[in-house]
Amino acid sequence: MIRTFSTHKIRPQVELNNLWQFTVDGREPFPVAVPSCWETYPGFGSYRGNALYSREIRAGGNIRLVFEGVSHTADVFIDGEKIAHHYNAFTAFDAVYPAAEDKNHLLEVRVSNAFSEDSALHIPNDYYSYGGISRPVSLEIVPDVFIEWVHLTPVFREVSWDLEVEVSLRNISETNHIAGAEVSLEVGSHVFDPTEVPAKSVKTLRATIHCDNAVPYFPETPTLYYVTATLSLDGGPVCDDLIDRVGFREIKISGTEILYNGQPIQIRGFCRHEDHPLFGCALPMSAMDQDLNFFRDLNANAVRTSHYPNDPLFLDLCDEKGFMVWEENHARGLSEEHMRNPNFEKQCEDCIAEMIRDHMNHPSIIIWGILNECASETEYGRSCYARQLAQIKALDPSRPTSFASCKHFKDICLDLVDIVSFNIYPLWYHDAPVKEYLDELYAWIQETEGRGKPFLITEIGAGGIYGMRNANMDKWTEEYQAYALSQQIEGVLSKEGCSGIFIWQFCDVRVSREWFARRPRSMNNKGVVDEYRRPKLAYQTVKDLYAKFRKE
């Protein structure tokens, strides 16, 4: 399942989510489900390296394969011809094979989850870089010019809503110059003037459409509208379409407040990895939905996609269930040395471009984040933060930006963002009392360029090993974790000027083997549920406190 709704009625599209052949090093192939992670195949639980997925496809014309996510590097071949390369498990890419003969074709995907200098973002880390075709694959047949994406930005203009629309047309033909591509939008019955789209080019159309009767989108009343774009070429019949969704909401900053349709919000959230012992990072919709049902039961209203763009299917669920989302590009804890990897900036900027290209329309996403706990205390790091934040603003000026910093008392990038956010661990990594530590950090921020901005705690928590219980309040017991979180949540949500909290973290997750020494069970054990979603003592603590602080 790619999305919770069909994105095409006219464009032929089939999901290739079934059995493919899998092999490593020329060994006997065997059939595996796609999407999946190879760590879930017997004998491959810790395999790090290269593998080959293959299958036949029957198609002709302009074949377009869309991969929602391959972890972490993919090379795509049809009949032995390489047609695409992509790095990063967490963003989508396509592979186009124009003018194909209508017959059976051999589709092969070489996948690697190896660590090397070629991979600046997937490195040994406090989460696991899985291997496999980990998100869905679809096969489409497209005209020479097709609708690549439609971006929908709601703007409230005093008494009613406008919808700022951008439509991207892409010509994949080497020779076919289209003189008159005509796009119609179902919303507002808007018809764009015919436009030319030269061979091998892209063309972006823009329009502002008045939507006088639009019902606003709120988390409590998540009203969604479908928008259909159709395309005809040179006076011919409609030959392509694209359907997406929009929620009429606006996120603005006013002093220290984050305004949601003009109303200040309080974030009561969790940081959540895409991780599960039965699926790796390839969670099916039912597992995604189970997590969000736990979020609802915990009186949470937000999720931080730590530390990478999430599956669009999960974002659809957040849209429909009314959860607010902080989505961030892929990076965790990269030092200046890591950031100086020659592949780092392009891999980050590609990730941002693909994240915003594909996730722009999700009303659940209210904040774009970047570079979790990277080198924002150094001049070189600052130059990277500045470029990436500028890139986000250029692609989407409608959402506030931030980054989760751990450079307490030394961060030099707080002027670059709309919202100042810090990860802190009083009562875990150090024993400073929560209130005092928070007051000291907030007072320091007011002496920097981060003064007067909205302030979020984007990580706070403690480890608790499921089933470890004693009356000594030893760290790693469930009792101590519940105590620490009670102090942390009280301290953060009572703090004047603080707009909210993302607890680290929702569930226990697997970490790279290289992290074993600091992570009992080779897991990050700071979840309020364990990896099987079994609640720890802290679960009820968080549930009660989030209910107490919930502002009606």
Residue ranges binding ligand ADA (CB under 6 A): 126, 306-307, 332-333, 372-373, 406, 423, 459, 504, 524, 526
Minimum CB distance to ligand ADA smaller for 76 or for 331: 331
Least distance to ligand ADA from the beta carbon of 400, Å? 20
Q: How far apart are CA 408 and CA 27, in angstroms?
A: 51
H or E element at residue 59:
strand 50-67
Minimum CB distance to ligand ADA smaller for 94 or for 328: 328
Q: How far apart are CA 368 and CA 330, in angstroms?
A: 12
Q: Which amino acid would we find at residue 465?
A: I
Angle at which helices 478-493 and 434-445 cross, to 10°: 40
Burial 468-484 (b: 16+ CB within 10 A, else e): beeeeeebebbbbbbbb
Minimum CB distance to ligand ADA smaller for 354 or for 373: 373
Minimum CB distance to ligand ADA smaller for 157 or for 518: 518
Minimum CB distance to ligand ADA smaller for 68 or for 530: 530
Minimum CB distance to ligand ADA smaller for 78 or for 424: 424
Q: How far apart are CA 26 and CA 78, in angstroms?
A: 18
Minimum CB distance to ligand ADA smaller for 143 or for 491: 491
Minimum CB distance to ligand ADA smaller for 7 or for 71: 71
Using CB atoms, what's the residue nearest to ligand ADA? 126
Least distance to ligand ADA from the beta carbon of 542, Å? 16
The Cβ of residue 299 has, within 10 Å, a number of other Cβ atoms equal to 16
Tokens of 549: 């602080």
Distance of CA 177 to the CA centre of its chain: 36
Angle at which helices 312-321 and 285-297 cross, to 10°: 40
Least distance to ligand ADA from the beta carbon of 98, Å? 42
Burial 76-103 (b: 16+ CB within 10 A, else e): bbbeeeebbebbbbbbbbbbbbeebeee
Q: How far apart are CA 111 and CA 91, in angstroms?
A: 15
Least distance to ligand ADA from the beta carbon of 203, Å? 40
Least distance to ligand ADA from the beta carbon of 439, Å? 20
Minimum CB distance to ligand ADA smaller for 94 or for 459: 459
Minimum CB distance to ligand ADA smaller for 197 or for 331: 331
Minimum CB distance to ligand ADA smaller for 7 or for 512: 512
Least distance to ligand ADA from the beta carbon of 269, Å? 14
Nearest C-alpha neighbor of 279 from the set 288, 268, 270, 271:
288
Least distance to ligand ADA from the beta carbon of 457, Å? 11
Minimum CB distance to ligand ADA smaller for 17 or for 405: 405
- Contact assessment for residue 215 and residue 182, using Cβ atoms and an 8 Å cutoff: no
**Sheet strands (E) in 418-492:** 420-423, 455-459
**Sheet strands (E) in 351-396:** 365-370
Q: How far apart are CA 281 and CA 72, in angstroms?
A: 11
Least distance to ligand ADA from the beta carbon of 549, Å? 22
Those residues with Cβ within 8 angstroms of residue 498's Cβ, 6 or more apart along the chain or in another chain: 438, 442, 455, 456, 457, 492
Q: How far apart are CA 261 and CA 263, in angstroms?
A: 6
Distance of CA 158 to the CA centre of its chain: 32
Least distance to ligand ADA from the beta carbon of 79, Å? 42
Minimum CB distance to ligand ADA smaller for 294 or for 308: 308
In the three-class reduction of DSSP (H, G, I as helix; E, B as strand; rest coil), residue 466 is classed as coil
Least distance to ligand ADA from the beta carbon of 425, Å? 7
Minimum CB distance to ligand ADA smaller for 249 or for 332: 332
Q: How far apart are CA 180 and CA 72, in angstroms?
A: 39
Q: How far apart are CA 482 and CA 349, in angstroms?
A: 39
Least distance to ligand ADA from the beta carbon of 274, Å? 13
The Cβ of residue 410 has, within 10 Å, a number of other Cβ atoms equal to 11
H or E element at residue 251:
strand 251-254
Least distance to ligand ADA from the beta carbon of 431, Å? 15
Least distance to ligand ADA from the beta carbon of 160, Å? 41
Least distance to ligand ADA from the beta carbon of 458, Å? 8
- Report the greatest alpha carbon distance in the chain: 78
